[in-house]
Chains A and B, each alone.
Chain A
Amino acid sequence: MGRYWQLYLMVLPPIVTTFIWHYIPLYGVLIAFKDFDSNLGILHSPWYGLYHFRWFFARPSFWAILWNTIRISLYSFATFPCSIIFALMINELTSKKFKKTVQMISYMPHFISTVVVCSMVHMFFNASTGIVNKAIVALGGEAIEFLYRTDTFDHLYIWSGVWQGLGWGTIIYLANLANVSPDLIEAARIDGATRWDIVIHVNIPTILPTIVILLILRVGGILGVGFEKVFLLQTQRNISVSRVISTYVYELTLGAGGSTIYWDTSSAIGLFNSIVNLILIIMTNTFARRVSDVTLW
């Protein structure tokens, strides 16, 4: 140790807090293999093997929930190129002032909280007072109850997300694009390359490593559809398409008003989710290592 003890002291507090709030709950995962009784506690509740996993897999709702999770995830994954394209477009702007203005405006939605964004969705798409339906009616159409239908949830969820994240997602690509050598572009221009050629053959290859890294992270999170936004956009009538793993875990446990019956089951579901995520991210990372030299670790 010697002269390093002060460094260890500096890194100790977050090691402790991470241990308490992250690693101790990992031990609680045991509950997934037990027949949990809140009077006995985790340690003394009897072992139950893989019963909870089998119970969950055997339920018809399991497949619906899994499908909802994967479907929403894949749809949102499909919008991954939006920020890339937008960054390439911004990069082509020659007026510095215009570029700054576009960036300023498009980053703004990132700073609006999830609750407010979802509130805006609820209010804008309201059947009677929302602007979207007012416009539809004014154009001779019929008002649509967007939040109470099963065929509109995905679109509301995904595109409000694109609205919020599009501009912010460009920052990292624009930073990369700023490093493209001007000489390279000039040389290409002299050789007769068009602007389009430069985007395809210079700019896109430049940001490719970053794209790969971000893709790996996205694939790893494919079953990790977050609780917050789905829950905030969920209504009694769209629940058949909006019930994902994370909201189901909540529904079974804390959403069930004090009942601890399903605590063990829900932990099994959560564990299943984590394991799949972990496998996916390791697989993608291995794949990325095979085909390129860009990896997470």
Chain B
Amino acid sequence: MTNAPALKTNNRIKRSTGDVIFDVVNIALIVLITLIMIYPMWYVLIVSFASPEEAVRGQLYFWPNSFTFEAYQKVFAEKKIWIGYGNTIIYTITHTLYTLALTIPAAYALSKKNMPGRLAITWYFFATMFISGGLIPSYMLNKSLGLINTRWIMIVGMGVGYSNLVITRTYYQTSIPSEVYESAYIDGATEWQTFIKIAMPLSGAIVAVMALYAAVGTWGSWYTAFIYITDQTKWPLQLRLRQILILDSTQSLDLQNMTLEDQMEMQHQAFLVTTMKYAIIFIACLPMLVLYPFVQKHFVKGVMIGSVKG
């Protein structure tokens, strides 16, 4: 999947004026788009470190004149955010494991073209993409299962998506030659043994892709908690973020230790709430940003495997 040979051939042909203009315009536009892509993230970062006065009153666009950790110090003291953080970590790990346990063996089984009923099973999962019961029937189901307002609602569930199933199945079909299995069957291995002893050791890449898909999804999810969890100590981070950042409910921040001695101080505290919000965004995105350079290629791989028609 590399186009290195294409580059080589391109160079052999003399570049015309038209080609040069083409390149200049193309590169200029791409640079512009890339700057637009990165700027909002950069802006969050600089505001979070700027003094509250500069952030709110000043003309801060590219580089802060002031630098302070004040917003971060205040955010670090916010217990509710860290409870949410802890909950999200728990939900992310457990739900990811749950998803993997459901997806990987099933996809392996579906990769066996000779399994009777394979098509029917595939349709059974495929249909879930187009028909669903909707909000209330799902709510009533989870209620009768006793999952409302429990941590379980964040962990269990369908746990398997059609597209992930297909990506994983395609991986097994294309990356492990069937001869490998054939010799194992001749030696009398059962399906379970071939899965554990042959397929699993070769599954590192696809397990990584699926784990990351599930982890990123769970990390960012708030809807399930929003619908089913009213107990705030069980809230994941994203739901808390919504409360603080979107509903603008700054009462939900523990600002009681702020002394309102005079007007200036009061104004400062009001401005500080703004920079705190930017600091919260940065902290909420930090795990992703740290992991991103290492995991990016796995995500891309997932899309690539998915694009091979299985």
* Contact between chains at B33 and A86 (CB < 8 Å): yes
B18, B36, B192, B307: which contacts A6 (Cβ < 8 A)?
B192
Complex: A127 Cα to B283 Cα, angstroms: 25
The chain A residue sitting closest to B36, CB to CB, is: A163
Please give the distance in Å from B35's CB to the nearest CB on chain A. Answer: 9
Binds B, one of A62-70, A100-108, A148-156: A100-108
Please give the distance in Å from A168's CB to the nearest CB on chain B. Answer: 8
Binds B, one of A53-61, A72-80, A249-257: A249-257
B160 is an interface residue with CB less than 8 A from chain A: yes
The chain A residue sitting closest to B135, CB to CB, is: A249
* Central interface residue in B136, B216, B274, by most chain A CB within 10 Å: B136
Which residues of the other chain, B, contact A92 by a CB distance below 8 angstroms?
22-23, 26
B13 is an interface residue with CB less than 8 A from chain A: yes
A222 is an interface residue with CB less than 8 A from chain B: no
Complex: A272 Cα to B238 Cα, angstroms: 31
- Interface digits, A26-42 against B, CB 8 Å rule (1 contact, 0 not)? 11110100000000001
Which residues of the other chain, A, contact B60 by a CB distance below 8 angstroms?
131
The chain A residue sitting closest to B16, CB to CB, is: A194
* Contact between chains at B136 and A28 (CB < 8 Å): yes
* Contact between chains at B109 and A11 (CB < 8 Å): yes
Please give the distance in Å from B307's CB to the nearest CB on chain A. Answer: 5
Please give the distance in Å from A257's CB to the nearest CB on chain B. Answer: 11
Q: Which residues of B contact A (CB under 8 A)?
A: 1-10, 12-13, 16, 18-19, 22-23, 26-27, 29-30, 33-34, 36-38, 40-41, 43-44, 55-56, 59-61, 101-103, 105-106, 108-110, 112, 115-116, 121, 124-126, 128, 130-141, 145, 156-160, 165, 190-192, 195, 216, 219-223, 227, 238-239, 241-242, 245-246, 248, 274, 277-278, 281, 284-285, 288-289, 292-293, 296, 299-300, 303-304, 306-307
* Contact between chains at A271 and B9 (CB < 8 Å): no
Please give the distance in Å from B305's CB to the nearest CB on chain A. Answer: 10
Complex: A7 Cα to B192 Cα, angstroms: 7
Which residues of the other chain, B, contact A114 by a CB distance below 8 angstroms?
220, 222
Which residues of the other chain, A, contact B131 by a CB distance below 8 angstroms?
26, 274, 278
* Contact between chains at B191 and A116 (CB < 8 Å): no
Complex: A131 Cα to B109 Cα, angstroms: 53
* Contact between chains at A186 and B285 (CB < 8 Å): no
* Contact between chains at A196 and B22 (CB < 8 Å): yes
* Contact between chains at B19 and A194 (CB < 8 Å): yes
* Contact between chains at B296 and A29 (CB < 8 Å): no
Q: How many A-B residue pairs have CB under 8 A?
A: 285
A47 is an interface residue with CB less than 8 A from chain B: no
* Contact between chains at B102 and A13 (CB < 8 Å): yes
Complex: A4 Cα to B117 Cα, angstroms: 11
Please give the distance in Å from B151's CB to the nearest CB on chain A. Answer: 17
Which residues of the other chain, B, contact A237 by a CB distance below 8 angstroms?
none
* Contact between chains at A134 and B138 (CB < 8 Å): no
* Contact between chains at A124 and B40 (CB < 8 Å): yes
Secondary structure of the B contact surface, majority rule: helix
Q: List 15 A-B contacts (CB under 8 A).
A: A10-B195, A14-B125, A14-B160, A25-B133, A92-B22, A93-B27, A93-B30, A113-B238, A113-B241, A115-B241, A119-B246, A128-B56, A131-B61, A167-B37, A254-B139
* Contact between chains at B7 and A119 (CB < 8 Å): no
Which residues of the other chain, B, contact A292 by a CB distance below 8 angstroms?
none
Which residues of the other chain, B, contact A283 by a CB distance below 8 angstroms?
none
Known pairs A17-B160, A112-B285, A131-B43; A175 contacts B307 (CB<8 A): yes
Which residues of the other chain, B, contact A185 by a CB distance below 8 angstroms?
6, 9-10
* Contact between chains at B246 and A115 (CB < 8 Å): yes
For window 177-211 of A, CB contacts with B under 8 Å fall at 177-180, 182-183, 185-186, 189-190, 194-196, 210
Please give the distance in Å from A275's CB to the nearest CB on chain B. Answer: 9
Complex: A4 Cα to B59 Cα, angstroms: 69
Complex: A5 Cα to B289 Cα, angstroms: 44
Which residues of the other chain, A, contact B242 by a CB distance below 8 angstroms?
115, 119, 232
Please give the distance in Å from B163's CB to the nearest CB on chain A. Answer: 10
Please give the distance in Å from A42's CB to the nearest CB on chain B. Answer: 7
* Contact between chains at B223 and A163 (CB < 8 Å): no
* Contact between chains at B22 and A4 (CB < 8 Å): no
* Contact between chains at A195 and B19 (CB < 8 Å): yes
The chain B residue sitting closest to A249, CB to CB, is: B135
* Central interface residue in B6, B56, B60, by most chain A CB within 10 Å: B6
- Interface digits, A263-274 against B, CB 8 Å rule (1 contact, 0 not)? 100110011011
B30, B138, B227: which contacts A21 (Cβ < 8 A)?
B138
The chain A residue sitting closest to B282, CB to CB, is: A116
